[in-house]
Amino acid sequence: MKDATALPQSLLVLGGTSEIALATARRLIARRARTVWLAGRPSPALDQAAEQLHALGAEVRTVAFDALDPESHEEVLGKVFAEGDIDLVLLAFGILGDQAHDEREPLRAVRVAQTNYTGAVSAGLTAARALQTQGHGSLVVLSAAAGERARRADFIYGSSKAGLDAFAQGLGDALYGTGVHVMVVRPGFVRTRMTADLPAAPLATTPEAVATAVELGLRRGSETVWVPGALRLVMTALRHTPRALFRRLPI
């Protein structure tokens, strides 16, 4: 069960090697989270992530999970929830893709969409039902500021995040009043392996800053969290910029 400050004692990370998710897990372990499930594609990196969190004092288990195999989601998540209550599900998997390359090879673009959107629809609905059956818990969804308005430079990724974001908002409304809370997190540019090959964007931030914002959002019971917070105003302005001007902006 969550403690009196609304912070979780048990969590399930979908995308168990995500740098943002692991920074969040470290922070929540420091705040007394005791049980962590890392769900992800089996790899040495997943095992190493589990060892590192275990060294911080948590009981950590890994489970095989592939966003691209939605037919398996019910069984995988069912196995985790059958072992005990989960206070927080962190939906953290995602791929950036390579926009120029993916535009030329539509099947690669489809893989971005299937991972970030349809994979999340399946995993999100499955997690939501399990949390609802349990009667409490939070689903935290790593969306992205990129989904607020798709740019020429990354509209395949951006559109997948727009879909994910709209889905997660609707799911939050569907679960309102049930005891299950959905929080949509919209980071801007975060320095992780996902962005390692890209030049830093304005207002670039860190996985630790996202983790801090997630903790604050949980304490407040927020529905939407921007990281950094200033992005909310920036993206509101960009969202309302006329197309003819927007497409000329160097962003």
Q: Which chain residues interact with ligand NAP by CB under 6 A? A: 15-20, 40-41, 43, 45, 65-68, 92-95, 115, 142, 144, 187, 189-190, 192-195
Q: How far is the CB of 137 from ligand NAP (least distance, A)?
A: 20
| 8 Å CB contact between 39 and 63 | yes
Token output for 32: 């007394």
Residue closer to ligand NAP (CB basis): 248 or 251: 251
Q: How far is the CB of 193 from ligand NAP (least distance, A)?
A: 5
CA-to-CA separations, 207 to 21, 75, 84, 198, 214, in angstroms, rounded: 8, 30, 28, 16, 10
Q: How far is the CB of 231 from ligand NAP (least distance, A)?
A: 10
126 contacts: CB under 8 Å, gap ≥ 6: 73, 74, 77
| 8 Å CB contact between 92 and 14 | yes
What does the alpha-carbon distance between residue 150 and residue 148 come to, in Å, rounded to a whole number?
7
Residue closer to ligand NAP (CB basis): 69 or 173: 69
Instruction: Please pick, among 157, 167, 189, 226, the residue that the annotation labels catalytic.
Output: 157
What residue number has its CB nearest to ligand NAP? 94
Q: 117 an active-site residue?
A: no
Residue closer to ligand NAP (CB basis): 23 or 128: 23
User: Any idea which residues carry the catalytic annotation?
Assistant: 157
